[in-house]
Amino acid sequence: MKQSTLGRWGEQAVAEWLKHQGFTLLARNWRRREGEIDLVAMQGDTLVFIEVKTRRSAAFGTPEESVDERKQHQLARLAQRYLDENPALSFNECRFDVVVVDLTGNRPRIRHYPNAFLPIG
């Protein structure tokens, strides 16, 4: 499976998993010139920007490590743009989550890191 296909498969798996966890999906693969937010969802009255990482091996480090400071800056800028483009959106809190799809074992495992990082700049 190609990396892009693997990533899309992981995002779909996470989208379904989040729905079962009570999240309401607002956007998937929200793209702008500066990059992409994998998933945007509501959990109760909290707006959640979600970065999905899918890995078949740890050869390039853990998925969590790939959401480095540069990626956090990019996601924060994109989240602000999403908010600017959706002024009618109503929420009390906002956070950034990372969800990992781990394919290194016998079956896929999903690990959810709510509030994985604070927005930077």
Residue 106's pLDDT band, with cuts at 50, 70 and 90, is confident
Query: What CATH number should be reported for the domain whose range is 3-117?
Result: 3.40.1350.10
Distances (CA, A) of 70 to 24, 42, 65: 28, 25, 11
Mean pLDDT of 6-34: 95
Q: 58-71 burial, b if ≥16 CB within 10 A, otherwise e? A: eeeeebeeebeeee
Domain segments of the chain as ranges:
3-117
Mean pLDDT of 97-118: 90
Which residues share a beta bridge with 112?
A: 99
Query: Mean pLDDT for the chain?
Result: 90
Residue 63's pLDDT band, with cuts at 50, 70 and 90, is low
- Would the pTM count as exceeding 0.85? yes
